[in-house]
Chains A and B, each alone.
Chain A
Amino acid sequence: MARNTIIPSQVVIEQRKRVGIQLETVTNVSGTDFPGNYPDEDHAWDVIKFAENFKVEFHTLAPWDASFSLIGLDASVANAFRRILIAEIPSLAIEWCFVNNNTSIIQDEVLAARLGLVPFTGNRVGLLDFLKWYKKPAEGEEKVEGTDYNTVVLDLQIECTHNKDAARNERDPLKKYNNAHVYARDIKFIPFGRQAEHFSGENAIRPTNPDILLAKLRPGQVIDIQMHAIKGVGSDHAKFSPVATASYRLLPTIDILRPILGQDAVKFKKCFPAGVIGLETVTKKEAAQKGSGYEGHEGEKKAVVFDAMKDTVSRECLRHEEFNKKGEEKVKLGRVRDHFIFSVESVGQWNSDEMFLESIRHLRTKCESLKADLADLKMKGT
């Protein structure tokens, strides 16, 4: 390609990756790592180079909550993973409600919509491998009977009654009546066919959060609903989304350009969330160094960056003259364009880390299936 390939220095590369954050504006927002952007530099795609530079760092790892950094990726790819997590990874949710009786104050359709949004959990293998897709009937077609491998039957039967044991002057409805509140835990799973093999005992299909309030009842009111849950994807309805949140943010950077000392340092620290800025004492050695800005300040407090990752980039420090005087800026805020701090919170059917791996697999299968489609390309309309 290029006659003599120039390799830019590490400093230059780091600089190009920096998104600048000023008081009211952002700068250097889009990536420039494309061939032809810089004369004689090689920016062609190379897996080996990518593999060398790509890094993953874990911050938290729990079944329902994972946080990790992907470093060395482009926003378009990170965003693809995020979008797949939200909209394309399947999960189980209630799709049909058969209302046998509902004399509660909450209307059938409203209650049905609430039930649909209740997240469920259960045996991982059963949910992910055993359960298959239920083919939804097209418009006008009749609903096909579900089977044990594509439909989960759930039941909600509850009646509110007077509590005979309650004190006469009891005012609390929860004590005065039985079943005054209907919670997600009142939904019962009814296994049929081979479902009992996968979902029994502690592996049963159950609401992830048992304390979701579904309805309130008074004596004499009854709810009797049978529900069918199927697998679906978030792009069809948000209730099928397997994540509570799947988001990323770019790593913040804080560069202190000139020393921030004494009372200013204390004030500077207050401009940031706890743990971002720390105070240290100016040492004798620093004070002796000419041109460092520390001369004659031995023993005073100075502001240092402890952990920029905790910063929310509120830009508060830029609002104060003492830190952001034109021409004498003491601080420079920024973000690293290729450092994505992901946060993935599963809602119960996947482990967060497994789910992220699934999103990668998903993008891969997409590419493979479309690559196969290239074999017989046709002009549209022919």
Chain B
Amino acid sequence: MAPNKSTEEPVAAPASSQEDETMEEDVALQEADAANPAIYNLGDSRIQLLPGGDEFNTSFEFQKEDHTLGNALRYIIMKNPEVDFCGYSIPHPSEALMNIRIQTFPPYTAQEALNKGFEDLIALCDVVADTFTTERNAFAANQESQMQT
């Protein structure tokens, strides 16, 4: 199981004689998970609008993101027929910032395009994970039966 998933359900501490102790421990566990660099959504919003442009021509600034998300998001947003232009950049290598520029065909807004980009990427991840798991299980089963014979 993913360590970064455990915010919602902190690992149950072994039976403790005192209730308070468990409570304290849970809080401590959650605080510890806040230190997990893979979990970001606990603090402020990590996306900001950059000045200039309008709702159809917008630049978004992402904190603590890089090429990993930038390029994947750029690709999936470019697959949207309502989008005229999409590009991303890392303004400076020593700042953990990533900018995405989206220009759309009105009345479709850039923010809608970004939102759809996230949704599409999530859907893509689900398909990849499902197919991967099925194929992996089939391969493992096949491997096992070959070992037995």
Contacts and interface: CB of A to CB of B under 8 A. Distances in A.
Interface of A: 1, 33-36, 43-45, 47, 50-51, 54-58, 61, 68, 70, 73-74, 76-77, 79-80, 83-84, 87-88, 90, 128-136, 147, 149-150, 194, 197, 231, 233, 235-236, 353, 356-358, 360-381
Question: What 3 A-B pairs come out closest when comparing CB atoms?
Answer: A369-B41, A135-B35, A45-B79
Nearest to B25: A149
B19 to A, nearest CB: 18
Interface in B81-118: 81, 111, 114-115, 118
Interface of B: 1-6, 11, 14, 28-29, 31-41, 45-51, 60-62, 65-69, 71-72, 74-76, 78-81, 111, 114-115, 118-129, 131-136, 139-140, 143
B119 to A, nearest CB: 7
Contacts of A77: 72, 75-76, 121, 124, 128
Contact of B120 (A45, A51, A361, A374): A45
A362 B1 contact: no
Nearest to A135: B35
Contacts of A47: 120, 123-124, 127
A381 to B, nearest CB: 7
Contacts of B124: 47, 50, 77
A374 B41 CA distance: 11
B37 to A, nearest CB: 5
B126 to A, nearest CB: 7
Q: Which of B31, B34, B60, B125 has the most CB of A within 10 A?
A: B125
A129 B135 contact: no
Contacts of B11: 129-130
Contacts of A358: 2
B68 A364 contact: no
Contacts of B128: 54, 56, 70, 73, 77, 360
A43 B123 CA distance: 17
B122 A44 contact: no
Contacts of B72: 76-77, 79-80, 363
Given A149-B32, A362-B38, 19 more contacts: A33-B79, A54-B128, A56-B135, A61-B136, A61-B143, A68-B132, A76-B72, A76-B75, A77-B128, A131-B3, A132-B32, A133-B3, A134-B32, A134-B35, A358-B2, A360-B128, A365-B39, A370-B118, A380-B49
B130 to A, nearest CB: 8
A360 B126 CA distance: 8
Contacts of A73: 128
B54 to A, nearest CB: 12
Contacts of A194: 14
A299 B88 CA distance: 59
